[in-house]
Amino acid sequence: MLTARDFKEIVSGQRKGIGASLLRGTLWLASLGYGIGMSVRNRRYDSQAKPSEKIDVPVISVGNLTLGGTGKTPLVAWLARWFRERDFRVTLISRGYGAEQGTQNDEALELEQLLPDVPHLQNPDRVAAAKVAAEELAAQVLLLDDAFQHRRIARDLDIVLIDATAPFGYGYLFPRGTLREPTTSLRRADVIALTRGDMVSDGQRQAIWEQIRKLDLDATLVEMRHQPSRLLSASSESADIDSLRGQKVLAFCGIGNPSGFRHTLTQAGMEVVELREFDDHYHFDGEDVSNLQQWVAQHDDIAAVICTHKDLVKVGVDRLAEKPLWALIIEANIVDGQAELEQRLEEIVMRIPDDPYADY
């Protein structure tokens, strides 16, 4: 069975040889059927043969064009805070990928710590969850996480994130590449945000924007960085990132873009001795924690162990082999297009119904 790393090496062309080439050919054939199915589905929504369901409050979707991590969580948190700072009630809606019955997945646990005053409903039936949020929680704005392809719910603003390090799925639909749907689908987007632009050259970044503009879009274009803000322990203790500047650290992560995590740690001034990679949404059990303890015990000269916030909520310990375990908290830093994005959000504010609870 292919691991996530194997899959990426094959579809990106990094893995050479006859076997890899034959496998890419097989995956390309499979992608043809996937593409036909996606095209038929989108055509039904575009023609209103299968209309999207309208919710009584404004809906903002944050999603991807490709599989894997593009940095949605920091932007979702930024949007939620933007509305909360203006005293609007926000509810997050997500499918709950990887969550067992009656439990929250890693992203929900992460967002619960980041946004303690924002409810988060996880349900494979996101229409049902949206109705609960609007009718029972009196939400005034709904944020749909990872919902660009979830077209059952009509949305007032469609935000799509593009990862500069792998912007267009290696040029192919899944499973030959990582595109969830063709790049022409970006024409549905109201806002396109390029993430991790600092991890590629200026020439590569400009080439991405040129390819996006060739689609003749009527979308707001935004560029954002993933900016580390602080260190956080499982017991909610915080520390300044500069406390580890110039220090040797071990790191591990179970996310869609491990190289992005390494880059962020390096940019923060840490010397990453070794980065241990796990599959995206990896579930850490007792044996995994024990293995991590043994791994850390082999490195006496490190100052700390660093993971992502999404990993920390599952590992749930403050120390590994007597070394402090910290999560690196990442926030969205919009470096271009923030005024235009906020103008779009102000238009959403104008659609929010009067608050029946305003006088209570």
Q: What DSSP line would sit under 219-286, residue for residue? A: -EEEEEEEEEEEEE-TT--EE-GGGGTT-EEEEEE-SS-HHHHHHHHHHTT-EEEEEEE--TT----H
Q: Is 17 annotated as a binding residue?
A: no
Predicted pLDDT of residue 71: 82
Predicted confidence band at 70 (pLDDT cuts at 50, 70, 90)?
confident
Q: Is 8 annotated as a binding residue?
A: no
The matching CATH number, chosen from 3.40.120.10, 3.40.630.10, 3.30.420.250, 3.40.630.30, for 227-330 is 3.40.120.10
Those residues with Cβ within 8 angstroms of residue 121's Cβ, 6 or more apart along the chain or in another chain? 91, 92, 93, 94, 129, 132, 133
Instruction: Give the pLDDT mean for 25-46.
Output: 96
Q: Name the class of domain 59-226+333-351.
A: alpha beta
- pLDDT of 208 > 90? The answer is yes
- pLDDT of 100 > 90? The answer is no
Predicted confidence band at 69 (pLDDT cuts at 50, 70, 90)?
confident
Q: Is 35 annotated as a binding residue?
A: no
Q: Is 3 annotated as a binding residue?
A: no
Examine domains 59-226+333-351 and 227-330 and report if their fold is the same.
no
- pLDDT of 312 > 60? The answer is yes
Instruction: Give the pLDDT mean for 87-114.
Output: 80
- pLDDT of 337 > 90? The answer is yes
Q: Is 66 annotated as a binding residue?
A: yes
DSSP letter, residue 173: B
Q: Is 220 annotated as a binding residue?
A: no
Give the residue extent of every domain in the chain: 4-46, 59-226+333-351, 227-330
Q: Is 221 annotated as a binding residue?
A: no
Q: Is 266 annotated as a binding residue?
A: no
Residue 325's DSSP bridge partners are 305
Q: What percent of the chain has pLDDT over 70?
A: 96
